[in-house]
């Protein structure tokens, strides 16, 4: 949980030639500043890109052992076509992550397939008249690279089919190179299984990314729905209070106007009733607003549980029975603490669980809110926590907030006997 309105921590300016330069963010701070879905997205993309970048290197060294010709153009063609294959696969991957629903980019796929075919032919030609033991594995690497790029947008079943096709092609290349049929089948089967396992593992990581992003969107929608529900509740209460009185004012105003128009007695009494109803309405509206603003601790604890659960955060609340027995000033003070803590959890943390504990002993009431959503959070307080500490200080209480290991703990203590 990051304190509401907190500012970024800065190091003091250094003396010397570079004293005016700001501190360079560390890698740890750069990583911790990202949300969990952003980290998973970054990890998934980097895994794809890193693996694809190494494809030309693996292809080049896989075929290097078979080169017996003195011609220099075979390695050049092999390396060039493999680089083109990798570039096309990178384009396929990038566009797939950019728009998952659009499917694979057909021009990039066509370039990858053509360049991959040239790579396989170059691997075969580089051996001259002799056998090419590495050619089937070059075929498997090319197929794995293309299927890897397609796995961002293509479901698992077509990818497994593609791996089987890659295995068949590798087996055919092995058979064409003079291997016995049984050996060619074994080579093709092993390459097909390896490619299938490799591609489905990456496809599974994309599926996990989709699930995490969907959960993040759902959590945001749930939080918005919780806020909308609270607004509707307030609007309903205000309507119930004001509807009848405003209707009465409207009817009595029309009646008073008609009496005045006809010159009959009773208009003054009706106007007096209108004034009375208006004053009553004003008093009831103030009661509604006061009730809405009043920090009733049991109600705040129940609201915290409801809002956090609606936002997808696991929550445990203890000490609700003790909250009802506390004096009203203590409930009001701790109610503000609950509001501020829950607001910070929802707006400034990536919490998966939160606990709210209330204890009253030794003439003091202590409220502690703990969550796991702010690893590496700073100790600087924002305006929200600063104002809350000032509010508690006015009642003789105290506030502490900051990281404790991999958790963030906010604790407030208020004397039970507080002057109203």
pLDDT digits (tens, 9 = 90+) for 281-305: 787 777 766 655 555 788 888 878 8
Residue 135 has pLDDT above 60, yes or no: yes
- Could you tell me where in the chain the CATH 3.30.565.10 domains are found? 297-415
pLDDT band at 198 (very low <50, low <70, confident <90, very high): very high
Among 160, 164, 154, 161, which residue's Cα sits nearest to residue 207?
Answer: 154
Structure tokens at 192: 């097909």
> Could you give the residue range(s) of every CATH 1.20.5.1930 domain in the chain?
224-293
The pLDDT-based confidence of 344 (bands split at 50, 70, 90) is confident
Q: Provide the Cα torsion 299, 304, 309, 310; round to 10°.
A: 80
Instruction: Retrieve residue 110's tokens.
Output: 């066509």
Token output for 381: 């307080």
Q: What's phi and psi for 379, nearest 5 deg?
A: -100, -5
- More confident: 347 or 43: 43
Which CATH fold topology does 297-415 show? Answer: Heat Shock Protein 90 (3.30.565)
Q: Which residues of 199-229 are buried (b: 16+ CB within 10 A; e: fewer)?
A: bbebbebbeebeebeeebeebeebbeebeee
The structural architecture, per CATH, of the domain 224-293 is Up-down Bundle (1.20)
**Spatial CB neighbours of 376, under 8 Å, sequence gap ≥ 6:** 28, 29, 32, 403
Please state the pTM of the whole predicted model: 0.55
CA quadruple 191, 192, 198, 199: dihedral positive or negative?
A: positive
Instruction: Output b/e per residue, 292-311; b: 16+ Cβ within 10 A.
Output: eeebbbbebbebbbebbebb
Average pLDDT over the chain, rounded to an integer: 79
């Amino acid at each position: 949980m990051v304190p509401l309105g907190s500012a970024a921590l800065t190091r003091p300016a250094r003396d010397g030639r570079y004293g005016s330069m700001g501190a360079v963010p560390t890698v740890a701070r750069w990583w911790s500043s990202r949300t969990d879905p952003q980290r998973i997205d970054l990890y998934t993309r980097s895994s794809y890109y890193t693996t694809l970048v190494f494809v030309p290197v693996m292809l080049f060294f896989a075929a290097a052992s078979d080169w017996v010709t003195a011609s220099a153009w075979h390695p050049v063609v092999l390396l060039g076509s493999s680089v083109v294959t990798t570039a096309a696969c990178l384009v396929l991957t990038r566009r797939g992550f950019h728009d998952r629903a659009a499917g694979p980019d057909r021009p990039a796929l066509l370039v990858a397939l053509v360049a991959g075919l040239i790579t396989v032919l170059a691997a075969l030609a580089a051996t001259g008249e002799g056998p090419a033991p590495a050619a089937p594995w070059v075929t498997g690497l090319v197929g794995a690279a293309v299927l890897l790029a397609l796995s961002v947008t293509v479901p698992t079943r077509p990818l497994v089919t593609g791996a089987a096709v890659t295995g068949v092609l590798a087996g055919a290349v092995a058979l064409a190179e003079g291997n016995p049929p049984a050996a060619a089948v074994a080579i093709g089967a092993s390459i097909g299984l390896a490619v299938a396992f490799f591609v489905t593992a990456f496809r599974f990581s994309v599926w996990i990314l989709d699930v995490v992003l969907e959960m993040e969107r759902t959590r945001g929608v749930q939080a918005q729905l919780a806020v909308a529900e609270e607004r509707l509740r307030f609007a309903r209460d205000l309507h119930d209070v004001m509807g009848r009185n405003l209707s009465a004012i409207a009817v009595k105003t029309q009646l008073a106007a008609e009496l005045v128009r006809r010159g009959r007695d009773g208009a003054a009494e009706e106007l007096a009733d209108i004034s009375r109803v208006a004053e009553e309405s004003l008093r009831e509206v103030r009661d509604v607003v006061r009730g809405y603003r009043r920090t009733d601790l049991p109600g705040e604890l129940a609201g915290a549980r409801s809002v956090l659960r609606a936002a997808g955060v696991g929550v445990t609340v203890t000490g609700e029975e003790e909250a009802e027995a506390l004096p009203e000033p203590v409930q009001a003070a701790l109610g503000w603490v609950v509001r501020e803590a829950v607001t910070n959890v929802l707006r400034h943390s990536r919490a998966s669980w939160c606990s709210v504990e209330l204890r009253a002993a030794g003439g003091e009431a202590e409220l502690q809110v703990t969550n796991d959503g702010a690893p590496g959070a700073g100790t600087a307080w924002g305006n929200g926590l600063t104002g809350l500490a000032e509010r508690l200080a006015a009642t003789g209480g105290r506030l502490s907030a900051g990281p404790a290991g991999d958790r963030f703990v906010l604790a407030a203590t208020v004397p039970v006997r507080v002057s109203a």
